[in-house]
């Protein structure tokens, strides 16, 4: 078993680099909250940028194009999550070890290809479990399954056909309906005056900022935390007289909790959104405080 654990960690180390260095094409299915759709994906690597083109194969036609994991254009906003989930972060086994047990699940096959399966098993109830099936030739994930704290399947990403061959420039060129995606820039974290008093073990502040919303003077603060795999963002804004009551919703793996409360003498609305259990998101929201109050 120790030898298997070492092999699983080595596979995760290779994942980020391998996926960025491999040209391939294929079709995959993507399912969340009971829905299932099919997509065609092309990736061209080896140049100054890793270019991707994603096309939905059922329902209304839609596509997206990416460069180095950043959207270049998009014809349907529903493809944002699909495009994000097809670009894996660099998974550091040492960093992940704080929140997950890394296990080897042995050998299997996906899309007719030999794969090595790795499981990230949560050490607590505050994060989801993940199974990755990595192509033995390229280490590209050919299947990813996300499970709730109760073992329920929340999300599936699985290739049905995969070809690790060169991809032409014509194949990754988006169509005319693919609209240029707006660039997103966030202010520096120094502007943020809020913090979460509590986050699950292993989650650390990744980024934070302040922006004005909808051309109004009302500020919106945000804080993004991650554990090396999962992330959540806490939003804080002044509450208004028409602010809605507290809300708790979950769609597939994504939880969203809104709480109106007094914090630091201010009437604020705190919203936490992320791929974490609903109860965890609620506990985080209740812990949000002004920085000055937290430091006392």
CATH node for 189-295: 3.30.200.100
Q: From the CB of residue 283, how many other CB atoms can be counted at a distance below 10 Å?
A: 18
Closest by Cα among 40, 270, 31, 20 to 172: 40
Span 69-128, pLDDT tens digits: 899 999 999 899 899 888 887 888 889 999 999 999 999 999 999 999 999 999 999 999
Question: How far is 164 from 25, CA to CA, in rounded Å?
Answer: 7
Token duo for residue 293: 């109050």
Residue 156, C-beta contacts closer than 8 angstroms, at least 6 positions apart: 29, 30, 31, 36, 143, 144, 145, 146
Q: How many CA atoms lie within 13 A of 29 on its CB side?
A: 11
Q: Is the entire prediction scored with pTM above 0.85?
A: yes
The whole-number average pLDDT for the span 222-248 is 89
Token duo for residue 176: 């005319």
CATH superfamily entry for domain 2-180: Lipoprotein localisation LolA/LolB/LppX (2.50.20.10)
Span 32-70, pLDDT tens digits: 978 899 999 999 998 889 999 999 999 999 999 999 989
- pLDDT band at residue 15 using 50, 70 and 90 as cut-offs: confident
Q: From the CB of residue 223, how many other CB atoms can be counted at a distance below 10 Å?
A: 23
Element (H, E) at 292: helix 291-295
Q: Where are the domains of the chain?
A: 2-180, 189-295
C-alpha dist (Å) from residue 93 to 27, 68, 122, 201, 227:
29, 23, 13, 16, 11
b/e for 178-190, b at 16 or more Cβ within 10 A? Answer: beebeeeeeeeee
């Amino acid at each position: 078993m120790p030898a298997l654990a070492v092999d699983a960690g080595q596979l995760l180390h290779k994942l980020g680099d391998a996926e960025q260095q491999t040209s391939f094409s294929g079709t995959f299915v993507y399912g969340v909250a009971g829905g299932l759709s099919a997509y065609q994906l092309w990736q061209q690597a080896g140049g100054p940028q890793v270019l991707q083109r994603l096309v939905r194969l059922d329902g209304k036609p839609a596509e997206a194009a990416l460069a180095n994991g950043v959207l270049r254009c998009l014809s349907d906003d529903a493809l944002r999550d699909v495009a994000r989930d097809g670009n894996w972060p660099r998974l550091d086994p040492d960093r992940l070890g704080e929140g997950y047990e890394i296990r080897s699940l042995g050998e299997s096959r996906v899309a007719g290809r030999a794969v090595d399966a790795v499981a990230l098993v949560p050490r607590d109830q505050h994060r989801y479990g993940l199974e990755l099936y990595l192509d033995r030739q390229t280490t590209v994930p050919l299947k990813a399954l996300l499970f709730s704290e109760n073992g329920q399947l929340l999300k599936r990403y699985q290739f049905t056909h995969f070809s690790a061959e060169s991809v032409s420039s014509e194949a990754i060129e988006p169509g005319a309906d693919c609209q240029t995606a707006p660039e997103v820039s966030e202010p520096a974290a120094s502007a943020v005056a809020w913090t979460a008093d509590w986050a699950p073990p292993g989650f650390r502040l990744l980024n934070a900022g302040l922006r004005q919303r909808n051309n109004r003077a009302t500020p919106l603060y945000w804080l993004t935390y991650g554990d090396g795999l999962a992330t959540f963002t806490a939003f804080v804004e002044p509450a208004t007289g028409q602010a809605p009551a507290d809300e708790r919703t979950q769609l597939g793996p994504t939880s969203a909790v809104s709480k109106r409360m007094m914090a630091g003498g201010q009437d604020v609305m705190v919203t936490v959104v992320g791929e974490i259990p609903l109860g965890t998101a609620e506990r985080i929201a209740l812990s949000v405080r002004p920085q000055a109050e937290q430091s006392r």
